Amino acid sequence: MPKPQDVRVLPDQDDWKVEQNGRVLSKHHMQEEAIESGREVARRDHGEFVVHGHDGRIREKDSFGNDPYPPEG
């Protein structure tokens, strides 16, 4: 089974974009719309979900993959 790719919500000039594997999946005027869209993709693909702020720094992270429980290490 291929490794799931990160789904990222990133600032794009005055808008927000949802990217997966370096490909732009969608663009949105509001960050909340982009977050909703990106979260759906990450959930569907069992991947990691990462939200970046206007400054590019990671604001939020979530995993929809096969995380071991309890976590290793």
Q: 46-71, pLDDT tens digit by residue?
A: 999 999 999 999 999 999 876 666 66
* pTM of the predicted protein model: 0.83
Q: Within a domain: residue 70?
A: no
DSSP string for residues in 5-73: PPEEEEEETTEEEEEETTEEEEEESSHHHHHHHHHHHHHHHT-EEEEE-TTS-EEEEEE-S---SSPP-
Query: Is there a domain that residue 69 lies in?
Result: no
Q: Tell me if 2 is assigned to some domain.
A: no
The amino acid at residue 60 is: E
26: confidence class by pLDDT, cuts 50, 70, 90: very high
Which structural domain, as residue segments, surrounds residue 16? 7-63
Q: What confidence tier does 4 reach under pLDDT thresholds 50, 70, 90?
A: low
Q: Is the pLDDT of residue 23 over 80?
A: yes
1 within some domain: no
Question: How many domains does the chain divide into?
Answer: 1
Tell me, yes or no, whether 18 lies in a domain: yes
